[in-house]
Amino acid sequence: MNYLRKLPLFVLLLVAVVACSSKEAGENETAASAAVTQPLETMKTVNIDNCTKVEIKTTYGDIVVALYNETPQHRDNFIKLVKEGYYDGVLFHRVIKEFMVQTGDPNSKDAAADAQLGAGGPDYTLPAEIVYPTLFHKCGALAAARTGDQVNPERRSSGSQFYIVTGKIYNEAAISQMEQQMQQMKAEKVFYEKASRIMPQIERMQQAGDSAGLNALQEKLYNESMDEVAKNPVRFTVEQKKAYTTVGGTPHLDGQYTVFGEVVTGMDVVNKIQNVATGRNDRPVADVKITGARVLE
């Protein structure tokens, strides 16, 4: 975060707005390998024995997911939609290799090849149930899609759209680098929040040409931000590190989306789906469909 000291305060705030508006969840991260080296069952971080299981039938085979009891609103909503047949016929409309496969848009049913997909859902959203770091984006995680922070600061989930993580495997050096980047991003966020709260003061100092005062203010906010973040540094848990260095995942999404389940069986099916040819907007060239879903009693 040292570069914060090198730019005028008003420029930093402008950069922050542009950066936030252009950041997408699908950005790639440097990884060590794409191959899964351990079976997913070795990476269980919560007890799924008493979890409700759902079978999702697709054109590539069957996937069974466990719905976490730690996220009851997402669990119950998913069960309700499955029992209503809501997912029958929907497409996997967004597939990105070594990242995730996404589905659940009702508008994708029998959609034309050039149709814009990804905005459909029921007439409600769900409150975020982000149980982090217990529940995170390891390979096989089931998570709720949502709109971005700019229009959805509460990070409410789509009422129906979800994705299954495939991700990548990271080495220890990459994990350490990611922790540093996340720490920097956290400090920057604190800095910008502090600065935005005193924008009238900053604007007055700019209008007065008080560059010395702006530099001193920037230094003050910088030191306060660094001190605040240092009290609670960003660190991956032992469970996260074990998962991300063995089966892989998408750690850059952690703490931002609700993870509400995981694949129990059928990850081979998910991998087949992630490897299909895709075209515009990451939609599979040949439709990949959920043919049915049922709650396993």
Note whether residue 268 is domain-resident: yes
Residue 99 resides in a domain: yes
Residues 284 and 160 in one domain: yes
My answer on whether 158 and 288 are in the same domain is yes
Residue 242 has a pLDDT of 95
Q: Which of these ranges, 28-42, 90-104, 125-139, has the smallest mean pLDDT? A: 28-42
Percent of the chain at pLDDT exceeding 90: 69
Q: Are residues 163 and 262 in the same domain?
A: yes
Per-residue pLDDT at 91 exceeds 90? yes
Q: What is the mean pLDDT of the chain?
A: 87
Q: What is the pLDDT of residue 189?
A: 84
Q: Would you say residue 228 lies in a domain? A: yes
| 109 shares a domain with 65 | yes
Tens-place pLDDT, residues 174-216: 999 999 888 888 888 889 889 889 989 998 998 999 989 988 9
- pLDDT score for 286: 97
Give the Cα separation of 29 and 100 in Å (integer).
Answer: 13
200, 218, 236: which is the final residue of a domain?
Answer: 236
Residue 188 lies in a domain: yes
Asked whether residue 72 falls in the same domain as residue 190, the answer is no
Q: Looking at the structure, do residues 70 and 183 belong to the same domain, yes or no?
A: no
Q: Is residue 143 part of a domain?
A: yes
Q: For a pLDDT cut of 70, what percent of the chain falls above it?
A: 85
pLDDT band at 5 (very low <50, low <70, confident <90, very high): low
Q: For the purposes of burial, counting CB atoms within 10 Å of the CB of 37, is it exposed (0-12), middle (13-18) or buried (19 or more)?
A: exposed
Q: Are residues 263 and 152 in the same domain?
A: yes
3-state secondary structure the chain: CHHHHHCCHHHHHHHHHHHHHHCCCCCCCCCCECCCCCCHHHHCCCCCCCCEEEEEEECCEEEEEEECCCCHHHHHHHHHHHHHCCCCCCECCEEECCCEEEECCHHHCCCCCCCCCCCCCCCCEECCCCCCCCCCCECCEEEECCCCCCCCCCCCEECCCEEEECCEECCHHHHHHHHHHHHHHHHHHHHHHHHHHCHHHHHHHHHCCCHHHHHHHHHHHHHHHHHHHHCCCCCCCHHHHHHHCCCCECHHHCCCCCEEEEEEECHHHHHHHHCCCECHHHCECCCCEEEEEEEEC
Residues 41 and 156 in one domain: yes
- pLDDT of 16 above 70: no
Q: Are residues 55 and 158 in the same domain?
A: yes
Domain containing residue 152: CATH number: 2.40.100.10
Residue 64 lies in a domain: yes
For residues 88 and 147, membership in a common domain is answered with: yes
Distance between CA atoms of residues 25 and 251, nearest Å: 11
- Whether residue 98 is found in the same domain as residue 223: no
Looking at the structure, tell me whether residues 84 and 156 fall in a common domain. Answer: yes
Domain that holds residue 214: 178-236
Q: 216-254 pLDDT, tens per residue? A: 998 899 899 989 988 888 889 999 999 999 999 999 999
Domain count, the chain: 2
> What is the reported pLDDT for 175?
94
